[in-house]
Structure 1
Amino acid sequence: MSRSWSQRPRRRPYQQRPRSTWRKFFDYTLAVLFLALVALVVARFDRVSTRQESGKAIVNDGDTITLGNERIRLRGIDAPEYTQSCKRDGADYPCGKLSRQALAKLIGGRAVSCSGWQRDRYDRLLGDCKVGDLDLNAEQVKAGWAVAYGDYELEEAAARVKRAGIWAGSFEEPRDWRRTHEGVVEPKHGTLASVGDTLRELFRFH
C-alpha cells in the first residue's frame, strides 16, 4: 500500500552555494570590461557616422573628385586610371582621360553632393555622389566608363550589353592595371569591406 502524499518524505529546498571570492572577482571584472567596451563603442560612433560634403567639384579622374578640402572616391565603382590606355578597333586610346571627361560632362559645372564614411588606403572618403537627382556613381558605370567594384553590377551588365564606353573594345581591369604599374591592391567596396571598416574604426587606437 502506497503512502499518502502527506506521509512522503519532503525534499529539502535547493540552497545555492555561496560564490567564492575568486568567482565574485571574476564576475565583477567581466561586468566592468563589458561596460568599458560598450562605452568605447558609443564614444567612437562618430568615426562611422555619415559625412556630407557638397559644392563645386574638381574632377581628378573617372572615379575621384575633390570638394573643398575633401578628396572623394566614388564608392562601389572603379574607373580606368588617368594614364591608362585601352584598345578599340585594334588601336590604343586614352580610356582613362575619356573616363575623366565623361564624369566632368555628367557634372557639367553644377554643385555636387556626396555622403559616406568609409575611407580608402589613400584616406579618400568613399562617397555616393549626386548632381541633383543624378547618381554619378551609377551613371559612370552605365555609360561604360567605370566597372562595378562592390556595387552597381546591374549597371555594368547593361553597359556590357550595349558595348558602351570601355566595353566597346578590350581593356585591363583598373585594379589589375594598378597592380602592374603601381603595385597597389585596393579592396572592393562591398558589404564585407563595410563590416571590416566598421570594426577597424571602432577599435582603432590612433
Structure 2
Amino acid sequence: MQATCFAALLAVSVATSPCWSADAVGLRTTPSSLPSEAVSKAITGRVAIIDGRTLWFPGSAEKVLLAGIDVCELPQWAFDPTRYGKNTALKPVPCGPLAKAWLKRVVSDDQVTCRVTAFDSDGTYVGSCSMSGRDLAVEMLRVGWARVASPPLPGYATWQRQAMEARFGMWATYVLDMDEWRGKAVDRTLERRPIADFNLLAERGREISPPFADAHKRPRRADH
C-alpha cells in the first residue's frame, strides 16, 4: 500500500531494502525546532504546501513549520541501495519533493488548524497542525518522509521507529542527515544534481547506516 502511494506521487519506487537501523539516527535539533520566542495562537484555513514540513495560509498570509519533525530539503537527493540507474549507478530518490508530495496528498483541500507555540530563529511560526483530527507531523513520520527533531513531542519517536522498522520512505534509502546537508550543500537550487549529494554522502560526518559503509567497498557513482 505504501509503495503504491509513493509510486503514484512521483513515479519513484523506493524499495524496502536494508537501510538505517533504529539506532542509527538520534533525535537531533534543527533550526526550525529552536524557538526564539514563545507565542500562543490558533490559525485555521486552507493551506498551500511549501515543503514537507511547511504550510502557508494564504488567507492570513502566515507560514507555519510543523513542530517536532524535520524533512529533506526540496533540492536534496537520497539513493535507493537496491536499484540502479544508468551505468550501474545507485538510483536517485528525490526525497524532498516526495515529502512535499505526501504532505500535499494528506492535506488536499481540507481545512487545517495549527496551534502555534513559538517562533523559530527566522521569525516563522512553529506549531502542531492537524486536519480532521489527524496530526500532520505524525502523518509524515508514519510513512517515513520525516524524522523526529529535538525536543521530541510525545509519541513521535514511536511513529518514527515503526517507519524505520518497516523501511518506509527515506528509511529505505541512503540519505544525508538534513542538518549536515544544510551545513554542507553549496548549491541549494532545484536544479541540484544527484551526484552532488552522493559526494556529500561519501564525505559524511555522521554514519547514516551500516549498509552504506558496505557500499563503499564496491563504489558506484550516482546518476548525474
TM-score (norm 1): 0.63
Aligned partner of 1:136 in structure 2 is 136
Unaligned runs of 5+ in 1: 1-46, 184-206
**1:169, distance to aligned residue in structure 2 (A):** 1.3
Per-residue CA deviations over 1:48-87 (Å, capped at 9, x if unaligned) read 3411001010100001111131111100000100111100
Aligned partner of 2:51 in structure 1 is 61
Unaligned runs of 5+ in 2: 1-36, 84-89, 188-224
- Paired residues of 2:118 and 2:126 also in contact (CA < 8 A): yes
CA distance in 1, matches of 2:164, 2:38: 35
Aligned partner of 1:48 in structure 2 is 38
Higher mean C-alpha deviation, range 148-157 or range 128-137:
148-157
Aligned partner of 1:71 in structure 2 is 63
> Is 2:180 the partner of 1:176?
yes
CA distance in 2, matches of 1:172, 1:166: 10
CA distance in 1, matches of 2:79, 2:68: 24
Per-residue CA deviations over 1:13-46 (Å, capped at 9, x if unaligned) read xxxxxxxxxxxxxxxxxxxxxxxxxxxxxxxxxx
> Is 2:58 the partner of 1:86?
no
CA distance in 2, matches of 1:119, 1:49: 7
**1:117, distance to aligned residue in structure 2 (A):** 2.2
- Asked which structure has the greater CA Rg, the reply is 1
CA distance in 2, matches of 1:126, 1:71: 9
After superposition, where does 1:108-187 map in structure 2 within 5 Å? 108-150=108-150, 151=152, 152-181=156-185
Per-residue CA deviations over 1:145-182 (Å, capped at 9, x if unaligned) read 01000222111111100100000111111111111126
**1:110, distance to aligned residue in structure 2 (A):** 0.5
Q: Structure 1 168/53 Cα, relative in aligned 2: closer, same or farther at 3 Å?
A: same
Ranges of 4+ aligned residues in structure 1 off by more than 6 Å: none
**1:122, distance to aligned residue in structure 2 (A):** 1.8
Aligned partner of 1:105 in structure 2 is 105
Identity level (%)? 26
Higher RCO, 1 vs 2 (CA within 8 Å, ≥6 residues apart): 2
- Paired residues of 2:47 and 2:55 also in contact (CA < 8 A): yes
TM-score (norm 2): 0.58
- Paired residues of 2:39 and 2:118 also in contact (CA < 8 A): no
Q: Structure 1 129/182 Cα, relative in aligned 2: closer, same or farther at 3 Å?
A: farther
**Higher share of residues assigned helix:** 1
Query: What is the root-mean-square deviation in Å for CA atoms of aligned residues?
Result: 1.6
